[in-house]
Amino acid sequence: MTPPPPVLSRLKELGEEWGILFLRVAERRLAETKERRPYVHLELADSSGSLVARIWSDHQAFQTSETLEPGQVVKVQGRRKEWRGKDQLEVARLRPAGPGDEEDWEPDTVFGPGWAEVRDLAARRLVLDIETVPLTTDVRQLPQTLVKEVTRVASEREWEIEKVLGLNPLFSKVACIAVGDAEGEGGHVLIAPDPEDLEDLRSRAPSWLLPMPEDRMLGAFWTLAARAERVITFNGRNFDLPFLRTRSAILGQAVFVDLLGGSPWNPGRHLDLYRVLGGGGRPQAPSSLDAACWAFGIESPKGTMDGSMVAPAWREKRYLEIAEYNRSDIEATRSLYHKLKTTVLDFLP
């Protein structure tokens, strides 16, 4: 069966006509106008984006809307309308999707690509960390103008060429993405080995390791991120998230949630603990996760491996070792989050 097109595409086709849509609840909260008129604020979404709907207290779906939970799939009769220059969703009828609706909607359309592979990894508060590796370590394979630029940066920063390449999404790839529930324990690692190693790694991977091609891995990540109320990182604003976004664009993978807005004290969907410790600016160096772990009495993930060792280990196809290191980073980030949650983060919902 061909999956139906995402909601934003369908609404553009429908114009002002009513259509039947299957969407997931991205956000639900009770609110009221200045005149104290109550309504339910809904953000309804699928893999292509989201639209806001207001369900007023005299609407037939008001009581149903009050009970909806983020991530829940709903069947909506709606149409697009413009309010103050922005598109909104006008709802005629709404109800939770039921057992008889499965054939009318596709998980990859409603939740995003790769949902079947990562649905059990979904969390309201998702901890994230990535590892990256250069696409090539031979700088001579680049155009001559780029060889000069990379060499200049390496000289100025006193870095190895491999490090310059590996930290730039224009010259490198996402090797693996570790994700975990901030309120749970353990975690999973999505990993994109070299294509010739994919099937072999799948055959021997532990249950927490999910090998897949890089584009599929990125799609699965954005699916999880869109489902989460908050994504938690350490230095994710400066590195992980821009890297994921740029690499997704290069591979043609849609990015359908914005995780780079907000501030340390009003973080929105993304909470960067590095920014919290620095109060919005750059913390005093050294300010690595390793340093934060030492200060807060947390076991550091920087044991037998650190970030500088990932690329050489990748060339040696030590995928499991890299994944375990990546997983240990989210364990440390989660522990730091809990240390901060009841002190400087006690204002967060």
176 in Cβ contact with 205 (< 8 Å): no
Residues 251 and 319 in one domain: yes
Of the candidates 180, 326, 173, which has an alpha carbon nearest to the alpha carbon of residue 253?
A: 173
Across 7-11, 12-16, 65-69, 307-311, the highest mean pLDDT is recorded for 65-69
Q: How many domains does the chain have?
A: 2
- 67 and 130 fall within a common domain: no
Q: What is the pLDDT of residue 2?
A: 47
Spatial separation of the C-alpha atoms in residues 336 and 297, rounded to whole Å:
9
Residue 33, domain member (yes or no): yes
The predicted pLDDT at position 202 comes to: 96
Residues spanned by the domain of 278:
115-135+171-341
Q: Is residue 128 part of a domain?
A: yes
Q: What percent of the chain has pLDDT over 90?
A: 54
Same domain, 96 and 183: no
Same domain, 290 and 217: yes
**Residue 266 pLDDT class (50, 70, 90 cuts):** confident
Read off the tokens for 109. 């359309």
* pLDDT(108) > 90: no
Residue 226's nearest CA partner among 12, 42, 22, 24 is 24
What span, in angstroms and rounded, lies between the C-alpha atoms of 149 and 287?
Answer: 27
Listing DSSP states for 258-275 in one string gives --S-SBTTB-TTEEEHHH
- Compute CA 313 distance to the chain's CA centroid, rounded to the nearest angstrom: 26
Q: Do 222 and 284 share a domain, yes or no? A: yes
- Residue 280 is predicted with a pLDDT of 61
The predicted pLDDT at position 188 comes to 97
**Is 22 in the same domain as 85?**
yes
Confidence check: pLDDT of 335 > 70: yes
**For residue 42, what pLDDT is reported?**
94
pLDDT of residue 283: 67
Task: Note the pTM of the prediction, 2 decimals.
Answer: 0.80
The reply to whether 161 falls in a domain is no
Residue 219 lies in a domain: yes
* Mean pLDDT in residue range 238-263: 88
Q: In this predicted model, what pLDDT tens digit does every residue of 275-284 receive, in sequence order?
A: 888 866 666 6
1 confidence band (pLDDT: 50, 70, 90): very low
Instruction: Write the single-letter amino acid at 1.
Output: M
User: Same domain, yes or no, for 26 and 102?
Assistant: yes
Residues 186, 324 within the same domain: yes
N residues, the chain = 349
Which pLDDT tens digit goes with each residue over 164-213? Answer: 888 899 999 999 999 999 999 999 999 999 999 999 999 999 999 999 99
Q: Which of 62, 17, 70, 12 is nearest to 40 (CA)?
A: 62
pLDDT tier at 316, thresholds 50, 70, 90: very high
Residue pLDDT, tens place only, 69-85: 887 899 999 888 877 77
Q: Are residues 218 and 331 in the same domain?
A: yes
Please tell me whether residues 263 and 327 are part of one structural domain.
Answer: yes
Q: Is residue 156 part of a domain?
A: no
Instruction: Based on the fold, state whether residues 22 and 120 are members of the same structural domain.
Output: no
Worst-scoring range by mean pLDDT, 34-38, 218-222, 304-308?
Answer: 304-308
CA dihedral 337, 342, 346, 349 (to 10 degrees): 70
What CATH code is carried by the domain that includes residue 71?
2.40.50.140
Strands of 270-272's sheet in order across: 209-211, 188-191, 172-181, 125-134, 230-233, 270-272
Same domain for 258 and 285, yes or no, is yes
- pLDDT(46) > 90: no
Q: How far apart are CA 327 and CA 203, in angstroms?
A: 20
**Average predicted confidence (pLDDT) for the chain:** 88
Residue whose C-alpha is closest to residue 267's, from 291, 244, 236: 236
Q: Report the CATH number at residue 186.
A: 3.30.420.10
